[in-house]
Amino acid sequence: MDELGLNKLFAGILVAGLLLMTGVKLAEVLVPHSELEQNAYVIEVPEGDAAGAAAAPAAKGPEPIMALLASADAVAGEKLAKKCTACHVFDKGGANKVGPGLWNVVNADKGVVDGFGYSNALIEFGGQWDYAALNAFLAKPKAYISGTKMNFAGLKKPQDRANMIAYLRQQADSPAALPTAEQIAAESGS
Ligand code: HEC
């Protein structure tokens, strides 16, 4: 009886210990979960861009891109556009797919492509797709327009966004003017 009681006691302690360890392990697995989500997006961009990627940007807005636009690589942008073509056509007169046709989108009013059913969030947001708006939207669509139905994580690297926007700019009969020195200075907050 005595020995059995002791055994039960030890068994109890053992089980309690195991439960505790399981709990700790479980917490370790669960807690960093929110961070994982962010990292998952970074995987899309394997090459290490020391300058851009290393310096964790302040949570505020996306890094400026206007200064990069003049020398941005529209051909690289066209390659990046493969990330978009599941949902968008870039050609003139291109049909709407999951997303609206993107011909002539730079400096266009938001949400005006004929026959496309935009989210209320985007329509109510309003304004134009100027370079700053495109930069913010393409960096993280849902952070810029909360409630947009564009399900795309975003282009994290400023150079990628600049290249993408350089390509978008070319998809027009008369491409929008590149940013002026004043606009570049205003964007970088200097
Ligand atoms: C999974 C589908 C999907 C992908 C991928 C996607 N988009 Fe979109 N995009 C949409 C949808 C849907 C909308 C409409 C959003 C709304 O109404 O809220 C949209 C809207 C836009 C708009 C606003 C157009 C307008 O007429 O106001 C731009 C600009 C845009 N997308 C650019 C891009 C670019 C550039 C890429 C690739 C880097 C991309 N999108 C990737 C689905 C997508």
- Mean pLDDT over 134-152 rounds to 98
pLDDT over threshold 70, residue 23: no
Structure tokens at 6: 């002791």
Task: Give the pLDDT confidence score for residue 181 in this predicted structure.
Answer: 93
Distance 190 CA to ligand 1 centre (A): 31
- The residue among 107, 99, 63, 61 whose CA lies nearest residue 83 is 99
The number of beta carbons lying within 10 Å of the beta carbon of residue 166 is 24
- End-to-end CA distance of the chain: give it in Å, rounded: 82
The pLDDT mean for the chain works out to 85
Model confidence at 17, in pLDDT bands (50, 70, 90)? low
Per-residue pLDDT band at 31 (split at 50, 70, 90)? low
Predicted confidence at residue 125, as pLDDT, reads 98
pLDDT, tens digit (0-9, with 9 covering 90-100), for 98-140: 999 999 999 999 999 999 999 999 999 999 999 999 999 999 9
Is the confidence at residue 177, as pLDDT, over 70?
A: yes
State mean pLDDT over 67-93. 97
CATH superfamily of 63-187: Cytochrome c-like domain (1.10.760.10)
User: Residue 2's pLDDT is what?
Assistant: 72
pLDDT over threshold 80, residue 165: yes
The secondary structure of the chain in percent helix, strand, coil, rounded to multiples of 5, reads 50, 0, 50
Q: What are the residue ranges spanned by the domains of the chain? A: 2-31, 63-187
Q: How far apart are CA 164 and CA 166, in angstroms?
A: 5
Give the model's pLDDT for residue 33.
Answer: 54
Judge if the beta carbon of residue 104 lies within 6 A of ligand 1.
no
Question: Lowest-pLDDT range, 14-23, 32-41, 82-91, 150-159?
Answer: 32-41
- For residue 84, the Cα-to-chain-centroid distance in whole angstroms is 12
The confidence band for 39, taking pLDDT boundaries of 50, 70 and 90, is low
98 lines ligand 1 (CB under 6 A): yes
Of 61, 108, 117, 92, which Cα lies nearest the Cα of 172?
92
Residue 36 has pLDDT above 70, yes or no: no
Residue 48 has pLDDT above 50, yes or no: no
Whether 9 is in the pocket of ligand 1, judged by its Cβ within 6 Å, is no
Both tokens of residue 45?
């961009």
Q: Is 113 in the pocket of ligand 1 (CB under 6 A)?
A: yes
Contact 120, 145 (CB under 8 A): no
Banded model confidence at residue 18, pLDDT cuts 50, 70, 90: confident
User: Which residue's CA is the nearest one to ligand 1's atom 6?
Assistant: 84
